[in-house]
Structure 1
Amino acid sequence: MPGFKSKIFIYTNSLEWGGKKKGKLTSPGKPDIEVSAPPEFSGHPGVWSPEDLFVASVNSCIMTTFLFFAQRQEIVLFSYESRAEGILERVEKGYIFSRINIEPVIYIGGENQTGEIKEIIKRSEENCLISNSIKSKVEVSPLIKQRKD
């Protein structure tokens, strides 16, 4: 692309095994995260798994991308909450996340903003760097509600 200027960002973390199937994930300036295999793979219940974090990374990327575009268009939001579900399937090559469903519930103030919100959701799906970096199909199904004062 003419005029395109590449940017590179580097993100790092460290992982220390703590025995059994648990570890401590660390990154400078951030809270530690205890991680484990999920219970389905003989891991520990109540501990974040790579599978949880994978689905959460898509969910949070969709949200932050949405908030970026909403702010640029000066949309007044009252709240954004989302639920994510990753479908893990065993295929010939092993287990894969075939699909990740994101269901945001977005409260807005103006009735005439519903169309703009739908467009921002579409742009968020197209521009989320995490979903653009994975093979899983990502589907975003928003519920847009009017805030009633």
Structure 2
Amino acid sequence: MSREHHYQVTVRWTGDTGSGTATYRGYGRDHDVLVDGRPPLRGSADPAFRGTPDRWNPEELLVAALSQCHMLTYLSLCARAGVVVTGYTDAASGVMREEPGNSGRFAEVVLRPEVTVADAAMVDRAEALHQQAHEECFIARSVSFPVRHLPVVR
């Protein structure tokens, strides 16, 4: 039996400088990402595309979503397998390539989780669970580019 989960997000553009999109350089890329009951997420374009550098851009959010999904799936698998994780950090990175025609796409995302487990006897199982987490991660299963993972377990 399958279940559906629905997500509602509002994106509100806040970058009108007075003349709308009359010119490419004349409008701001700033916007707010809104979900009921949560603080707004301040977004913009990547600075390479005239965005504001101190705001989140969609490309960073995509990499973050993949990293978060892998971590949450992995921690769940570890808990069910009796692997006690006491620390987890991921230095994830993504590569997006621009293409002719003002377009582009992600070439890949690489996750680099560094995991600490409670007992050295858990290391092998903890390492193996990264592959299962990758196969089960909802976000990784939804993208059309490679998501690699290079875990380190201590």
Q: TM over 0.5, yes or no?
A: yes
**1:121 corresponding residue in structure 2:** 130
- Is the counterpart of residue 45 in structure 1 residue 53 in structure 2? yes
Query: Where does structure 1 differ by over 2 angstroms across 4 or more consecutive aligned residues?
Result: 90-94
Letter paired with 2:11: L
**2:108 corresponding residue in structure 1:** 99
- 1:90 deviates by 2.4
Letter paired with 1:101: V
- 1:115 deviates by 1.3
Q: How does 1:74-93 map to 2 (within 5 A)?
A: 74-91=82-99
Letter paired with 1:90: E
Structure (1 or 2) with the greater strand fraction: 1
Letter paired with 2:66: V
Letter paired with 1:18: T
2:92 is paired with a residue whose SS is strand
Residue segments in structure 1 that go unaligned for 5+ positions in a row? none
For residues 118 and 75 of structure 2, the distance between their equivalents in structure 1, rounded to whole angstroms, comes to 15
Letter paired with 1:27: V
Aligned pair count? 141
For residues 33 and 131 of structure 1, the distance between their equivalents in structure 2, rounded to whole angstroms, comes to 22
1:79 is paired with a residue whose SS is strand
- Is the counterpart of residue 15 in structure 1 residue 11 in structure 2? yes
Letter paired with 1:53: L
- Is the counterpart of residue 144 in structure 1 residue 153 in structure 2? yes
For residues 58 and 111 of structure 2, the distance between their equivalents in structure 1, rounded to whole angstroms, comes to 18
For residues 46 and 52 of structure 1, the distance between their equivalents in structure 2, rounded to whole angstroms, comes to 12
- TM-score, scaled relative to structure 1: 0.90
**1:33 corresponding residue in structure 2:** 41
1:60 is paired with a residue whose SS is helix
Residue segments in structure 2 that go unaligned for 5+ positions in a row? 16-27
Deviations 1:95-121 (A, max 9, x none): 111100000010112112111112211
Equivalent residue in structure 2 for 1:131, among 106, 124, 140: 140
Root mean square deviation, CA, Å: 1.2
Letter paired with 2:121: N
